[in-house]
Amino acid sequence: MKYERAALPTPTSTSSFWHSEPNAFLLGHRTTDELPTEADIVVVGSGITGSSVARFLAEDERAKGKRVVMLEAREACWGATGRNGGHCQPLLFDRAADVADFELKNVAAVRSYIETHNVPCEWRSVSGCRTFWSDKLMAEAEREVTYLNKIAPDIGQRVTIIKDKEALKEHCVSPDCVGATITQGAGSLWPYKLVTFVLEKLVKDGKLNLQTKTPVTQITSSDSKHTLHTSRGTIEAKTVILATNGYTSALIPQFADLIVPVRAEMSALLPPKNSTILPDSYGMVGALSQPDNNDDYLIQRPYHSVPNPAGHLMFGGGRASGILPTVGISDDSVIDEGSAAYLRSALLKVLSLSGETQGLKELEAVAQWTGIMGYSRDNHPWVGKVPDKEGLWLCAGYTGHGMPNGTLCGKAVVDMVLGEEAGEDVIQRQEQMVKGGELPKSYVISKERIAKARMWPTVEVQDREGISATSRV
């Protein structure tokens, strides 16, 4: 399959539950009435990555005095981060050890910022419970945990395997499940509230010019500057950082086969009456005849001490039950009724929910929506300078796993940008970052990596044939 460029974000979109309590300061926000004609650094995208890039620029003395402008096609945090599952859960045993370590650091960095600034985003430190629904999948997980304990015992000790039915019951998992892993170091949150807290603070501190409802339609480049074209005019900058995830190839066509948009379904479900909060965040692998490489995912909102404390079950996935195409799709204005129906009914089968469940066939959805993920062809984010594009940087392609990666990926690209401006050799700086655990080597953009990634089957073929993430690591 030859991939077409991703489309720009749709002007209208399905209504994410996370947007049900919008940030009034940021709605329709434009820090200046007119789009500036130039800036020192332009950041495109206002999700977890874009906001992290802007924050780390503001915190770095090397960027002092620089004019930073952020362009967002829709409202602030209206893309994948404002539509995801609310997970900040590291995947440890099905990743390389350096990636697992990086994800743990990322989760810790997110938690630290929230605690330091007392961000009201419903952060909850939880264990991550991944359930496996076939003997094959469970055996594979056990092999991977054993290997992790061999090569990185400090990380491996965070993972416990449970197969005993009583142990599964303690985690509210159906006895039909083969087994599960319990991972320490995960969190759940209201992602939109975290990102908009960061953006509002930066704008009010005079560190960021945010321009919402300003889609970038094209980037043209000269020897020393990039011109970003929008419906409101153009803006020039020497440095552009794209935090565009699944929409990346709309602006960098050569990445059309490397970062592919994939539409996913989410829901906010009311729990059974008189039920209690679940102990973990959850991933369901191969449940209810879903393919082995398509996880379902769940967190639960609080029952008290927050606005609208209804304990909503924030449940996503069910892609194989969908009736509409997903791979290569950039349109999040459509609900897939097949996937939505699956999400309403599945939790009553895969979990042992407390409360009044007798006779329930499905849970009531107070919101159903879609979002666009960015699937990476080699299953790793793309962080660094775009080859042969001086001053153009990219931080995207999380394959549905952005919350445990985007914050420190944003920090890494800022360090590369400012290091190069200070006269450092970017390749040497990247090597230092890899050696110091600041960024996995597999995330760094290079011509060699691009060529190697293109030796893999396309994202569509991998998805259709069930090639799992672990086999692409």
**pLDDT tens per residue across span 376-432:** 999 999 999 999 999 999 999 999 999 999 999 999 999 999 999 999 999 999 999
Range of the domain at 136: 125-187+261-373
Residues 287 and 368 in one domain: yes
How many CB atoms within 10 Å of residue 89?
28
- 310: closest CA among 370, 366, 348? 366
Q: How far apart are CA 375 and CA 395, in angstroms?
A: 13
Q: How far apart are CA 226 and CA 389, in angstroms?
A: 10
Confidence check: pLDDT of 202 > 50:
yes
- Please compute the mean of the pLDDT values over residues 286-299 and round it to a whole number: 91
- Asked if residue 318 belongs to a domain, the reply is yes
Identify the band that residue 94 occupies on the pLDDT scale cut at 50, 70 and 90: confident
Say what the pLDDT of residue 431 is: 96
82: Cβ contacts below 8 Å, ≥ 6 apart: 16, 18, 19, 47, 191, 192, 195, 371
- Please compute the mean of the pLDDT values over residues 342-358 and round it to a whole number: 96
- Asked if residue 105 belongs to a domain, the reply is no
- 10: closest CA among 88, 95, 75? 75
Return the CATH number at 363.
Answer: 3.30.9.10
Confidence check: pLDDT of 95 > 90:
no
More confident residue, 469 or 457: 457
Tokens matching residue 400: 């549905």
**pLDDT tens per residue across span 419-441:** 999 999 999 999 999 999 999 99
Give 148-190 as a DSSP string.
HHHH-HHHHTTEEEE--HHHHHHTTB-TT--EEEEEEEEEE--
Say what the pLDDT of residue 62 is: 96
Identify the band that residue 292 occupies on the pLDDT scale cut at 50, 70 and 90: confident
- Asked if residue 111 belongs to a domain, the reply is no
- Asked if residue 362 belongs to a domain, the reply is yes
DSSP designation for 310: -
Residues 255 and 279 in one domain: no
Between 159-163, 306-310, 467-471, the lowest mean confidence (pLDDT) is in 467-471
Q: Which residue type occupies 113? A: Y
Residues 227 and 202 in one domain: yes
Residues 139 and 281 in one domain: yes
CA torsion, ordered 122, 26, 20, 57, to nearest 10 deg: -40
- Asked if residue 7 belongs to a domain, the reply is no
Say what the pLDDT of residue 2 is: 62
Say what the pLDDT of residue 293 is: 82
**pLDDT tens per residue across span 173-189:** 999 999 999 999 999 99
CA angle, corner 183, sides to 100 and 321, nearest 5? 90
Q: Which of 357, 373, 389 is the last residue of a domain?
A: 373
- Please compute the mean of the pLDDT values over residues 102-131 and round it to a whole number: 97
174: Cβ contacts below 8 Å, ≥ 6 apart: 168, 349, 350, 351, 352
296 φ/ψ angles, rounded to the nearest 5 degrees: -95, 160
Residues 209 and 68 in one domain: yes
Q: Which of 319, 345, 373 is the last residue of a domain?
A: 373
Say what the pLDDT of residue 348 is: 97
**pLDDT tens per residue across span 256-266:** 999 999 999 99
Confidence check: pLDDT of 371 > 80:
yes
Return the CATH number at 47.
Answer: 3.50.50.60
Confidence check: pLDDT of 471 > 50:
no
Say what the pLDDT of residue 264 is: 97
Percent of the chain with pLDDT over 70: 98
Residues 149 and 44 in one domain: no
- Asked if residue 278 belongs to a domain, the reply is yes
CA angle, corner 22, sides to 400 and 299, nearest 5? 40
Q: How far apart are CA 400 and CA 294, in angstroms?
A: 11
Confidence check: pLDDT of 198 > 70:
yes
Residues 158 and 276 in one domain: yes
Q: How far apart are CA 246 and CA 322, in angstroms?
A: 20
In this prediction the pTM is 0.96
Q: How far apart are CA 286 and CA 134, in angstroms?
A: 7
More confident residue, 465 or 296: 296
Q: Which of 373, 405, 433 is the last residue of a domain?
A: 373
Q: Where are the beta strands (DSSP E) in 377-462?
A: 382-385, 392-396
**3-class DSSP state of 184:** strand
Q: Which residues of 307-346 are buried (b: 16+ CB within 10 A; e: fewer)?
A: eeeebbbbbbbbbbbbeeebbbbbebeebbebbbbbbbbb
Say what the pLDDT of residue 472 is: 29
Q: Which residue type occupies 421? A: E
Confidence check: pLDDT of 333 > 80:
yes
**pLDDT tens per residue across span 30-59:** 999 999 999 999 999 999 999 999 999 999
377 neighbors 453 (Cβ within 8 angstroms): yes
Confidence check: pLDDT of 458 > 80:
yes
Domain count for the chain: 2
pLDDT, the chain, mean: 95
Residues 354 and 275 in one domain: yes
User: What's the distance, Cα to Cα, between the start and end of the chain in Å?
Assistant: 22
**3-class DSSP state of 192:** helix
Q: How far apart are CA 329 and CA 311, in angstroms?
A: 31
- Asked if residue 34 belongs to a domain, the reply is yes
Residues 300 and 386 in one domain: no
- Please compute the mean of the pLDDT values over residues 109-122 and round it to a whole number: 98
Residues 40 and 182 in one domain: no
Q: How far apart are CA 234 and CA 228, in angstroms?
A: 5
Residues 340 and 320 in one domain: yes
427: Cβ contacts below 8 Å, ≥ 6 apart: none
Say what the pLDDT of residue 470 is: 40
Confidence check: pLDDT of 225 > 90:
yes
In the numeric block, the tokens 């094209």 are attached to 218
Beta strands 179-188 and 124-132 are antiparallel
Confidence check: pLDDT of 92 > 70:
yes
Q: How far apart are CA 159 and CA 129, in angstroms?
A: 10
Confidence check: pLDDT of 469 > 80:
no
- Asked if residue 253 belongs to a domain, the reply is yes
- 111: closest CA among 408, 336, 401? 408
Residues 293 and 386 in one domain: no
Say what the pLDDT of residue 197 is: 98
Give 242-286 as a DSSP string.
E--GGGGGGT-GGGTTTEEEEEEEEEEEPPPTT----SEEEEEES
In the numeric block, the tokens 């130039």 are attached to 38
Say what the pLDDT of residue 223 is: 78
Q: Which residues pair with 444 in a beta bridge?
A: 383
Identify the band that residue 343 occupies on the pLDDT scale cut at 50, 70 and 90: very high
Beta strands 233-242 and 226-230 are antiparallel
Identify the band that residue 468 occupies on the pLDDT scale cut at 50, 70 and 90: low
